[in-house]
Chain A
Amino acid sequence: MIDERLVLDANAVAGDLEELFGIDLTAVIHRCAHCGNLGPMATLLAYVHGPGTVLRCSVCTDVVVRYVRTPWGTRLDVRGAAELRIELLG
């Protein structure tokens, strides 16, 4: 499928996410709410060329995070992430 070659991973949106959250999210471990897969957010499949950005579980392809950047700010739906594990630094 030609368009599957366009699929990136969340490394490609790491800058956007860090701008929103103030920390790098790619190394953060998440649990997929659909299939339970535990892994770094970097491995999420990123669909970036549409009206918004969709990050999908690399195991079950269900939506983990989706967001839209509007002129007034960003709206995120993170229901697909059942859990985020953020390590303390330093």
Chain B
Amino acid sequence: MTDRFVSRGFVGRRRDADANRAGRIPPGQYLTDGFPVLSAGPTPQIPLDQWEFTIEGLVRAPVRWSWEQFLALPARDWTVDISCVTKWTKLDTRWHGVSVDDLLAAVELDPRAQFVTASSYGGYTTNLPLTDVLNNQAFVAYQYDGAPLEPAHGGPARLVVPQLYFWKSAKWVRGLRLIEHDVPGFWESLGYHNRGDPWREERYSGD
């Protein structure tokens, strides 16, 4: 093994986690206080009077909500830890939004529906097993830290799936498509893991 060069005195952005919180940080992750903005493209600018959220695919009938209709859906506060595959973890993030369970309750799922593709304004996609978005595991958030979700962080609304790496939490989400066979999304099709469980360090396909 070659010795890797080490920069004297360089520590990076890592924050030390006290013993209480250390156990909440998945392997290979570093704690951060900030909320880095990571993006694959320009921030979409969707006027709220044109914004829609759709559930379609293997459902009896697709459902679509306007922004006003979406805000009228049952919503709650969520406090979750999030981990990005770029190695930062943020604890106790506070959101407000609609559980994916409540969204799916508006459609009748075909029994063949096993996977979900989340699509975003701007073209981003990510794929998830249906089992990862049921049972209060995932939600569509439109508030962060008590204020309307900023466009830079995925507003007006984004998907949040806290138990998976944060690339699965599609910013600017516009809908969910229920499908039978998994279809790799934007990052999954280029080497990232299909599922992305931070506790198993499922960063890359083959992990």
Q: Do the two chains touch directly in the complex (Cβ atoms below 8 Å apart)?
A: yes
How distant is B133 from chain A, measured CB to nearest CB, in Å? 20
Least CB separation from A74: chain B residue: B191
B136 an interface residue at 8 Å Cβ cutoff? no
Residues of B close to A47: CB separation below 8 A: 39-41
- 16 contacts across the A-B interface (CB closer than 8 A): A2-B152, A3-B43, A3-B151, A3-B152, A50-B39, A50-B167, A51-B38, A51-B84, A51-B86, A51-B192, A52-B187, A52-B191, A54-B40, A63-B41, A67-B190, A77-B189
Question: B-contacting residues of A (Cβ < 8 Å)?
Answer: 1-4, 6-7, 45, 47, 49-52, 54, 56, 61, 63, 66-68, 70-72, 75, 77
B82 an interface residue at 8 Å Cβ cutoff? no
| CB atoms of B36 and A51 under 8 A apart | no
The 3 closest A-B pairs by CB, nearest first: A68-B191, A3-B152, A50-B38
User: In the complex the two chains form, what is the Cα distance from A52 to B192 in whole Å?
Assistant: 9
B85 an interface residue at 8 Å Cβ cutoff? yes
User: In the complex the two chains form, what is the Cα distance from A45 to B84 in whole Å?
Assistant: 23
- Residues of chain B in range 148-207 having any CB-CB distance to chain A below 8 Å: 151-152, 167, 187, 189-192, 204, 206
| CB atoms of B152 and A56 under 8 A apart | no
Interface 0/1 of B99-120, CB less than 8 Å to A: 0000000000000000000000
| CB atoms of B42 and A49 under 8 A apart | no
B1 an interface residue at 8 Å Cβ cutoff? no
How distant is B124 from chain A, measured CB to nearest CB, in Å? 10
User: In the complex the two chains form, what is the Cα distance from A77 to B151 in whole Å?
Assistant: 27
Query: Given A50-B167, A70-B191, 20 other A-B contacts at CB below 8 A?
Result: A1-B151, A2-B37, A3-B37, A3-B39, A4-B42, A6-B39, A47-B39, A47-B40, A50-B38, A50-B39, A51-B192, A52-B187, A52-B191, A54-B40, A56-B42, A61-B41, A61-B42, A68-B187, A72-B204, A75-B190
- In-complex Cβ contact of A54 among B41, B151, B192 (8 A): B41
Residues of A close to B41: CB separation below 8 A: 47, 54, 56, 61, 63
